[in-house]
Structure 1
Amino acid sequence: MTAHDVSELARERDRIRAAHLRPAGERPASSARGLHHTALISSDVERTVRFYQDLLEFPLTELIENRDYPGSSHFFFDIGNGNLLAFFDFPGLDVGPYAEVLGGLHHVAISVEPDRWRHLKAKLEAAGLDHAVHSEVSVYFKDPDGARVELIADPLGEMYGHVVR
């Protein structure tokens, strides 16, 4: 990408910001109450439970049958603030490996307290899990099925010291 391309993209971002972004006090209230859950795919329910509950310390809150696919499970983890991370498994259906694709899920970012962030980062290291730390507040890694997860020590609604809500 050339410097000209980057400059054009920056101008377009500025145009969109000017046309659509309103100061916090001028924005209408959202029609949503919050993120109920984000659903990912699990190829092995127990392995996923061990990873998210035992390693990351997100309690398993429910494990039920998936109404959309016979024999499939739908299970949920508490990620705080009334939000859930959910999974489906599809036994007997080859869904293939996780792939980051244009228009698909890039990563799930979960806010944790700074002390908890350091604790969980140490657990990732002790488990030998490949990870990358950015800006000393974000740690990125992949779950057992390859989905990228970020633990971020910034408060909800902030990113690297910048308010994003």
Structure 2
Amino acid sequence: MALPDSRVAELTAERDRLRTELLRERGQRPASSARGIHHTALISGDVRRTVEFYQDVLGFPLTEMFENRDYPGSTHFFFDVGNGNAVAFFDLPGLDLGDYAEVLGGLHHLAISMAPDQWQAARARLDAAGVAYMEESGTSVYFRDPDGARVELIADPLGEMYGELVV
């Protein structure tokens, strides 16, 4: 549902005010206190299906698998997404979980940077696997993983988006 033009104009003005008030110039920003994202954890409805999708279709090697310390019987497993970063999953057997939903505080999408040749190869594997996706700006594809989470593969370098520095 599209917003009325007047509301879009209000939101644009508010974003501009926030940018002016809160965004520090590149040379004025302090160094981050973080080293990076250790892992992002998602929920899997089927461990094998998730591994086959992320490892075989997307090309992210499975690196570890062990029992979830917070939920006996649950599997916690990790994929290498490059540059020392990981995407992890839990399965939660016995819980009656609903379908993926976007909620406040929840995941909108997971964006993973790939070199252009790897991005093209992954897009070809998505095609071969019959995974529907939306291509945007010639450098991004958006699709849903087997459990419905939205994933973006982006051929832009880390720290850039569509030619703009974001870090």
Taking structure 2 as the reference length, what is the TM-score of the superposition?
0.96
Tell me which residue corresponds to 2:68: 66
Q: How many residues align?
A: 165
Aligned match for 2:135, one of 133, 136, 157: 133
Give ranges in structure 1 of 5+ residues lacking alignment. none
Number of the residue aligned with 1:93: 95
Gaps of 5+ in 2: none
In 2, Cα distance between equivalents of 1:25 and 1:67: 42
Q: Work out the CA distance in 1 between the residues paired with 2:97 and 2:83.
A: 31
The letter of the residue matching 1:81 is: N
Determine which of 39, 42, 45 is the counterpart of 1:40.
42
1:117 aligns with 2:119: yes
Mapped partners of 1:8, 1:144: distance in 2: 38
Q: Which amino acid aligns with 1:58?
A: F
The residue that corresponds to 1:150 in the other structure is: 152
Amino acid at match of 2:31: A
Give the secondary structure class of the aligned counterpart of 2:98: coil
Give structure 1 regions of 4+ aligned residues with deviation exceeding 4 angstroms. Answer: none
Task: Give 1:6 shift.
Answer: 1.3
Q: Give aligned-pair identity as a percent.
A: 68
Q: How far apart in 2 are the matches of 1:43 and 1:3?
A: 40
TM (norm. structure 1) is: 0.97
